[in-house]
Structure 1
Amino acid sequence: MTITRMTSDQRREALSGSLWFLPLLMTVAALLLGAALAEIRLSEDGPLSGVLYHGGAEDARRLLLGVATSTVGVFALVVGLTLVALQVAGNRYSPRLVRSFLRDRVTQVVFGLFIATFAYNAAGLYTVGAQDDYPRLAVTVGLVLLFVCIAALVFYVDRVAHSLQTHSILNTVGVAARRAIDCRPPGIGRSAGMSGLDGVPWDEPPPGAIQLLAPRSGYVQRLQMDALMQAALAEDAVVQLTPGIGGHVVAGTPLAWACPANGGVVRTESLARSVNRAITIGAGRSNYNDVAIGAIQMVDMALLSMHTFDYHTVEQSCAELGVLLGRLAGLPLGSEALTDSAGTVRVLVPGLSFEDYLELACGEIRRKGSNEPVVLLALVKQLRAAAATVSPERLGLLRTQLELVRATAQAGIKEPHDLERVLREADRVTMLIGAGRAERPAIRLAE
């Protein structure tokens, strides 16, 4: 059965990444404000006379027209700065970073401020007639908005200049990834990584299952686990998702399998609607619950930096990846099964294991920088950072990655001195991992 209808959560996800929705709301608010202020008449000798505009009606019209036209010109500059930032971020660092810039709330607010200021002053031309009894407060507010726009322009130029620096972009991506981890999406925390789910064939239907087909092609951006659990309980069914968060689905292919939990009959129409409301599918991956996309963006920055021989950016990317792995190292990871109060499995969701995250963070960088000691040393430091918080049963995965770094260095580095540096550091970290993490008193400093 095909799941149809775009849910409110899907619309919210789409609108949050648009550059027109928030400016539209601000423009409507500005027009309503102008309509309200146009009804207010203040005397020239009142308590606000010192700040009110005191020119004639014709002067007021010229003022409003001048503010409107100048705002349009400055707005063109703001748009140009934004396009430059998008181009630099996409070409220099990663095309996947463009989405982060589009979702930047400050950019949307600045756009909205300029458009709202133009609309406010342009609409004010219709309220100021030939008579000198015009809404002076409304005209004064229009002039004030011009100065607000100038201040916003200075702030925005400074922000764009700083946001294009490597450490700023990595910090933005890292904060988004850590925020996604703290949300504990499916596959992170709770019962994730249960050994009983290791052999589950996620692409194959369980016996007697009904397929729920994807209504559109795209990536799974969000999963509302409570809603999925309620849907499964309401139909006394077991719902097994084909992709997890970040997984891609093709329209008309199975998005989930549903089968009766106790031999009953599943009402597919009702269950399909509930599953549709609980799963958000979008054109691109989202940082909201998708931890892996943050790691992919950092890896992209490292790979693209190698093309320009900017190995210091590779080091920075690996350092941020080490922080991310450190956050994940002590958490349950992998496919997850949600059970009801009776212990019956109701929802099955595939997820990435710690081994998957390690390969994502190290594999492409190691292969691309196979003959560069700086890159391989950065990977060793990255693994050492992850070892500080990793659970004992995962230490073997870190040793495996270190052995891969050693093998890559021996095959790719020709200079004996450089090769010795990499091998020595890899051996040192391997010894630290083999000795285990010593239990020492530690004090965590406040941020």
Structure 2
Amino acid sequence: MTTTRMMSDQRREALSGSLWFLPLLMTVGALLLGAGLAEIRLPEDGPLSPVLYHGGAEDARRLLLSVATATVGVFALVVGLTLVALQVAGNRYSPRLVRSFLRDRPTQLVLGMFIATFAYNAAGLYTVGAQEDYPRLAVTGGLVLLFVCIAALVFYVDRVAHSLQTHTLLNTVGLTTRRAVEARPPGIGRSAGLSGLDGVPWDEPPVGAIKLLAPRSGYVQRLQMDALMRAALGEDAVIQLVPGIGGHVVAGTPLGWACPANGGLVRPETLARSVNRAITIGAGRSSYNDVALGAIQMVDMALLSMHVFDYHTVEQSCAELGVLLGRIAGLPLGPEAVVDSSGTIRVLVPGLYFGDYLELACGEIRRKGSSEPVVLLALVKQLRAASASATPERLTLVRRELEYVRAAAQAGIPEPHEVERVLREADRVLLLVGAGQPEHPAVQLAGL
């Protein structure tokens, strides 16, 4: 992906999370539409006469004023519904889900429709004077927009009611996360997870390295690998980043290190400027490239649902986490090294291993729900889904998580028959992933 394409994606992703940009465009469009229709004068007996407004000029002004006033009142209701949805989603499921509501395109369209209708009718008051020859088509357009706003309100109320349902929220988060996986950000795919990068001390400077300091505090949202590669080649250097996608940095602390590749001299100021332009740092984590953020949102929903004893939501969250783990189980994961045409490593980026994703998806849920059979059984199903496309090495990690689930059931569940149930399901999955003969006697007797 070129730098221009990356910067365009950044601007588009930033604007898609704002509630003002699309309504602003729609308002400008409505004003231009009104200005254009105001120049059209249709004859009284023309083909459109049956649908045109035929009141007097003063009646037309009152109509425009009434539509503008009514639109403002209903717009306040829409804003109230939006704020309620944001509050419910943040408190009930996860504060991180608020961004999903802000990025909801239908919500932006409905808000834009009301603002554009108000602007259209308010601006029409300047074009409809006391003379009887006023733009009837433009006035009719204002009345039509009122009916469109009423339909949009009904649609929006229905959408808000459905958007707060658990499966809708999980589907939204899952879809965004799958898109992030398909984008193959640094740490997923290509040369990620090379064995030679296992022991790299990311927080420690290599010998002879210079510091590349972070210009601001925040989270790493994007890495333009092409730009980093050009920066490294331009200074004949090797760039080693300290944080990867989703990592937090503090202004003035090392964002990365740079070492001469062939014993030459590196210009720190020039290289630092190039690196800073290639890395986007924002106040919060972005779902565009941050696969771990999607997993965190699903885990949040599961954890907060346990507080209100909503274990069905926990099951749904674990099912969606299983889909995510199954998608990445067969992909290269971990720190990534980018090489030039001669095979020399030029850029090193840290990344999460499959074991890190497993712990992220299972650890907190297992510890919080260790006394609930429903939660542990949901984790067993999640791990079974994760093992579908896993490599033999990663199946070992899945088996380890299953053993953790077995230990949590034995230590946390008070009822022996519920312990038996969880152990039986865990042993069944252990057999499927090739763990050998299970310890649980019920599975052995079943011949599974």
User: Which residue number corresponds to residue 199 of structure 2?
Assistant: 199
Any conservation in 2 of the 1:14–1:282 contact (CA below 8 Å)?
no
Deviations 1:332-362 (A, max 9, x none): 0001001111111111111000000000000
- Structure 1 residue 391 displacement after superposition: 1.2
Q: Which residue of 2 aligns with 1:382?
A: 382
Is the contact between residue 339 and residue 346 of structure 2 (CA under 8 Å) also seen in structure 1?
yes
- AA aligned to 2:382 is Q
User: For residues 372-412 of structure 1, what are the alpha-carbon distances to aligned partners after superposition, in whole Å with 9 as ceiling and x for unaligned?
Assistant: 11101110111011111111221100010011111111111
Query: How far apart are the structure 1 equivalents of 2:270 and 2:397?
Result: 44
Query: 2:443 maps to which residue?
Result: none
| Alignment partners' CA distance in 2, 1:320 and 1:86 | 22
- The answer to whether the Cα contact below 8 Å between 2:399 and 2:435 also exists between their aligned partners in 1 is no
Q: Distance in 1 between matches of 2:177 and 2:344?
A: 32
For residues 6-405 of structure 1, the aligned pairs below 5 Å read 12-405=12-405
Q: Which AA in structure 1 matches 2:84?
A: V
Stretch deviating more after TM superposition (64-73 or 223-232)? 223-232
Deviation at 1:73, TM superposition (A): 1.0
State the 1:39 CA deviation: 2.0
TM-superposed deviation, 1:207: 2.0
Contact 2:23 2:111 in 1 (8 A): yes
**8 Å contact kept, 1:10–1:281:** no
Could you tell me how far apart the structure 2 residues matched to 1:238 and 1:135 are?
A: 68
SS at match of 1:168: helix
Cα drift, residue 12 of structure 1: 4.9
Q: Cα distance 1:227–1:54, how it changes in 2: closer, same or farther (>3 A)?
A: same
Deviation at 1:134, TM superposition (A): 1.2
Closer, same or farther in 2 for the Cα pair 1:390/1:37, shift >3 Å? same
Give the total of aligned pairs: 430
The 3-state SS of whatever aligns with 1:238 is strand
**Coordinate RMSD, CA, aligned:** 1.5
Task: Report if aligned partners of 2:380, 2:429 keep a CA contact under 8 Å in 1.
Answer: yes
Distance in 1, Cα, partners of 2:49 & 2:234? 66
Q: For the residues of structure 2 that align with 1:113 and 1:239, how far apart are their CA atoms?
A: 48
SS at match of 1:130: coil
Cα contact 1:216–1:252 (8 A) shared by 2: yes
How far apart are residue 8 of structure 1 and its match?
A: 7.3
Letter aligned with residue 119 of structure 2? A
Q: Distance in 1 between matches of 2:419 and 2:301?
A: 25
Q: SS of the counterpart of 2:365?
A: helix
Letter in 1 for 2:216: R
Task: Tell me the CA shift for residue 123 of structure 1.
Answer: 0.8
Partner AA of 2:320 in structure 1? E
Report the residue type matching 2:422 in the other structure.
V
Aligned-residue sequence identity (percent) comes to 86
Q: Distance in 1 between matches of 2:270 and 2:39?
A: 52
Q: How far is 1:241 from its partner? A: 1.1
Contact 2:399–2:430 under 8 Å retained in 1: yes
Instruction: Give the conservation status (yes or no) of the 8 Å contact 1:9–1:277.
Output: no
Counterpart secondary structure, 1:134: coil
The separation in 2 between residues aligned to 1:283 and 1:77, in whole angstroms, is 30
Q: How many Å apart are 1:204 and its aligned residue?
A: 1.4
3-state DSSP class of the match of 1:401? helix
What is the letter of the counterpart of residue 193 of structure 2?
G
Distance in 2, Cα, partners of 1:25 & 1:90: 28
- Please report the TM-score for the alignment, with normalisation by the length of structure 2: 0.93
SS at match of 1:205: coil
Distance 1:10 1:265 in 2: 33
Q: CA shift at 1:13, angstroms?
A: 4.4
Q: Distance in 2 between matches of 1:405 and 1:155?
A: 44
Identify which range, 152-161 or 46-55, moves more after superposition.
Answer: 46-55
> Cα distance, 1:90 vs. partner?
0.6
3-state DSSP of counterpart to 1:222? strand
Local SS of the residue matching 2:265: coil
Deviation, 1:161, is 0.8
**Secondary structure of 2:240's aligned partner:** strand
The corresponding residue for 1:409 is 409
Partner of 2:426: 426
The residue type paired with residue 287 of structure 1 is: S
Q: Which runs of 5+ in 2 are unaligned?
A: 1-6, 437-448
**Partner secondary structure for residue 50 of structure 1:** helix
Give the structure 2 partner of residue 444 of structure 1. none
Post-superposition CA distance 1:298-354 (Å, at most 9, x none):
100110111111111111111110001000110000010011111111111110000
5+ unaligned residues in a row in structure 1: which ranges? 1-6, 437-447
Deviation at 1:51, TM superposition (A): 2.3
Change in Cα spacing, 1:242 to 1:230, as seen in structure 2 (3 Å) is same
Shift of 1:210: 2.1
**SS at 2:257 equivalent:** strand
- Gap change, CA 1:269 and 1:308, over 3 Å in 2: same
Quote the Cα distance in structure 2 between the aligned partners of 1:259 and 1:326.
38
CA deviation after TM superposition for structure 1 residue 276, in Å: 2.3
User: Contact conserved, 1:38 with 1:127, CA < 8 A, in 2?
Assistant: yes
Partner of 1:441: none
Q: Deviations over 1:161-194 (max 9, x none)?
A: 1111111111111111111000111100011000
Deviations 1:253-288 (A, max 9, x none): 111222222222223333233222221111111111
CA distance in 2, matches of 1:36, 1:232: 54
Per the alignment, in what secondary structure is the counterpart of residue 434 of structure 1?
coil
Give me the whole-angstrom Cα distance separating, in 2, the residues matched to 1:234 and 1:108: 43
CA–CA distance in 1 between the matches of 2:87 and 2:194? 43
Q: Which residue of 2 aligns with 1:443?
A: none
- More off after superposition, 231-240 vs 329-338: 231-240
The farther-off stretch of 365-374 and 44-53 is 44-53
